[in-house]
Structure 1
């Protein structure tokens, strides 16, 4: 394919292996966004099809964070078939997410663990951390995968696409 002036800003099939296949970009060395000077955020998008627990125990960040949690039907994001437990604050106040939601985690707010307790229909989980690199100001950062992360091969991507 011929090089174009702005083609460098398109990252095709940035699929990483993790708890589920995920789209991911950040400014950390070894991550796709690192090739862009001053890349500003760390973003992950996962499709969750079965119960799971995120590996992080209670932790904080030095930046604000958003979780977008929505149904997996692109024609109706409100078609939501899961139950997610999110603990917030020093006291671990538990919140059940069972409908399309956005969770705002202000800088310094303790959060976690996060447990996907039930999945009747796939849900999408998007996390945006407003800093180029995923980091914790409190908590065990060793549980977070380092970069570069394992990528899907072209053959594995074909399988994921059902081809």
Structure 2
């Protein structure tokens, strides 16, 4: 179904996951917009920079927890004229679930959602992809990026080295 005017088209809010930025949604923004949806892909607090800048210095994201991120998206959703469709990937999927739990959004779609608190066990691949960050207690208050090898394992493992 394609929507033809701004009055009938719901807004889609795309919520990215950890270690990526809204740029991860760029093709999805174009796809949904071409179908007549209004599309928002806002950044997490502290992740408003370009990927290249955050790779060089991830410190703008330091100290920002999940509650701050969820509250940030809640404010965005509450400022919309009508409840949106929420779509999230990975940690963005967990955020979508938390927003729906708060009564926000008309529908939610989660793509390979991160587990929310209390959901165990984690797959070994999830632990392996985050271990380099989580195993160091000194990282608790820092923003820590992934190496190219870690990113390829966690996010781009079906792509060639060049594509990732």
TM-score normalised over the length of structure 2: 0.25
TM-score normalized with structure 1 length: 0.25
Q: Where is the helix percentage greater, Structure 1 or Structure 2?
A: 2
Which structure carries more relative contact order (alpha carbon 8 Å, separation 6+)?
Answer: 1
| Higher relative strand content | 1
